[in-house]
A and B are shown apart, each in its own frame.
Chain A
Amino acid sequence: MKLSNKTKVLEQGEMTLAERMYLPAIVGGMATTLKHFFSKPVTIRYPEQKRYLGPVYRGQHILKRDEAGAERCTACGLCAVACPAEAISMVAEERKAGEETLYREEKYAKVYEINMLRCIFCGLCEEACPKEAIFLRHDTMVPVFHQRDEVIWGKDKLVEKMDHRYLRDGWK
């Protein structure tokens, strides 16, 4: 059955004299490798040089604050539900009077933890979030960890610092 016209029928006929002598093909191949020998390497020396991975690269998680500096997360738990690796867990708490500058909504996450060993960096939490609170940064990767207690990241590491705000390329 013919599904498309892309099929290319290869006919392997008898090899010609030049092909059976191997040498012309060998010389041709050696010319190709010699050409590459003098061409510029394409290597990027990774730890020193980093390539730009695009504005949609899914790197380290960040819990955003709004312009006034209040945490956007309202601990609805949709990110935890959406997470296919079950890496996110949280404990919700009601906002007390006087905490309006700290938390944007009436409910907030007292504890918000991501297990970085479980996380697969799929970005579904980012898509599930109704409050635009969690993002995967395009510019930073989760650093390598060597100890078990470095694996679970709490709010201290996740919440955005006001003096070092995250702005994705393409945002205003």
Chain B
Amino acid sequence: MELINTVFIAKAIIVGVVFAITLGVAAYSTYFERKIAAFMQDRIGPDRAGPFGILQPLADAVKMFMKEDFIPANSNKWLFIAGPCLSMLTALMTSAVVPFGDTVTIGGATFDLQGIDVNIGILWVFGIVSLGVYGIMIGGWASNNKFALLGAIRAASQNISYELAMGMAIITILMITGSLSTKEIVEVQQNGHWNIFYQPLGFLIFIICAFAECNRTPFDLPECETELIGGYHTEYSSMKLGFYLFAEYINMFISGAVMATLYFGGYDYPGVDFVTQQFGSNVASFVGVGALIGKSLGFVFVFMWVRWTIPRFRYDQLMNLGWTGLIPLAMYNVVVTGFGILVGKPFMVSIAGLVLLIAALFVYDQLLVKKKIA
């Protein structure tokens, strides 16, 4: 009984801290989104609220709460309220299986710095991410508005299309690791054996799909302002809109954490052994937490960087890329990885596979694509 209590309290603390970090990062993502946009456009960005504008998220939150909370007369009231709640819920649940750090020993008891270490960790992430589209779909449908519905339908079909390629990309990771547990995937990658070196193509597919899953530019068709006003959140105002936007930033952070876990060694960082010898394993674990969060924030920056660089895809281009581009590539990647495992030299084979792919594309281009005579 005593042991269960300690474990329960420790887990509660970990969950609470992860929750707080996620929310804090999401809140400040809004600020950094605007700052990064400004810097990339040679502007300064928000700098009035507090020094360098660091109180801007607070001001935004106050603004969101003060706005009129409007529910359209002909909407389905309960579903209209359920939409943003579901979005937020699914966004927050994903972080449960992300291993934020190695084990920590306090008072003789050893804890994993992870919400839950289930042996189907990656499937959990996928299940929850798939549920995430319900929040958008329900919100868009309940608004009783053509544009909102169109945005919701786009979100649903886009997520379904890109989940396939994403799943295929993950399969290669599972083939290398032999486990679905996120903890084990990270353990395999320790000491610099990061999956990115063995799976460059898989990572490329995964990050493109992550952009699509998070509804970020260049795949932000569900809220495409130029065509659909605001897409699925056209009818939303006040903190309900805030929840939708917040969920998007949480998703960004969590997908960054998942990418770091799957491809960039999770909480691994150069010099783990040195830190362990000098300061003990607890300190090394906490530095690892910092490393994981740093990697995730790096991905958040990449998300924003891409957003302010690339224009939006057209819808047919989006579907074309997903179905005829990424899925065949992911299948090819599975075959190459399998061959690599069979031969026993995964690194060499993955590089050879990449070179072979580019060569094959080049040959195909030379032979079969008709050139316009200049």
Contacts and interface: CB of A to CB of B under 8 A. Distances in A.
Interface of A: 13-14, 16-17, 21, 26, 29-30, 32-34, 36-43, 45
Contact of B372 (A13, A39, A41, A42): A13
Interface string B179-192: 00000000000000
A26 B40 CA distance: 15
A13 B374 contact: yes
Contact of A14 (B38, B40, B43, B370): B370
Contact of A29 (B41, B310, B369, B371): B310
Contacts of B41: 36
A157 to B, nearest CB: 31
A82 B43 CA distance: 42
Contact of B365 (A17, A37, A42, A43): A17
A36 B44 CA distance: 12
Nearest to A38: B39
Contact of A37 (B40, B310, B361): B40
Contact of A39 (B36, B42, B308, B365): B42
B34 to A, nearest CB: 13
6 contacts: A17-B362, A33-B309, A34-B40, A37-B36, A37-B40, A38-B39
Contacts of A13: 371-372, 374
A108 to B, nearest CB: 48
Nearest to A14: B372
Contacts of A30: 305-306, 309
Nearest to A13: B372
Q: Which size bracket describes the interface of B in this complex?
A: 20 to 34
A33 B37 CA distance: 10
Contacts of B36: 37
Contacts of B371: 13-14
Q: Which 7 A-B pairs rank lowest in CB-CB distance, beginning with the nearest?
A: A17-B365, A13-B372, A33-B309, A33-B40, A29-B309, A43-B44, A37-B39
A32 B371 CA distance: 30
A160 B374 CA distance: 71
Contacts of A37: 36, 39-40, 305
Interface in B41-55: 41-44
A10 B53 CA distance: 46
Interface in B321-374: 361-362, 365, 369-372, 374
Given A17-B361, A37-B39, 11 more contacts: A13-B372, A14-B370, A14-B371, A16-B365, A30-B309, A36-B40, A37-B40, A38-B39, A41-B42, A41-B44, A42-B43
B304 to A, nearest CB: 10
A59 B159 CA distance: 56
A43 B370 contact: no
Contacts of A36: 39-42
B44 A45 contact: yes
Contacts of B370: 14
Contact of A34 (B42, B305, B310, B372): B305
A21 to B, nearest CB: 8
Nearest to A35: B40
B372 A32 contact: no
Nearest to A28: B309
A27 to B, nearest CB: 10
A16 B365 CA distance: 8
B40 A41 contact: no
Contacts of A42: 42-43
Nearest to A25: B310
Interface in B117-169: none
Contacts of B365: 16-17
Most buried by A among B38, B40, B308: B40
A14 B361 CA distance: 16
A26 B310 contact: yes
A33 B44 contact: no
B309 to A, nearest CB: 5
Given A13-B374, A33-B305, A41 B310 contact: no
Interface in B280-310: 305-306, 308-310
B318 to A, nearest CB: 12
A41 B369 contact: no
B52 to A, nearest CB: 13
Contacts of A40: 42
A17 B36 CA distance: 32
Interface string B17-60: 00000000000000000001011111110000000000000000
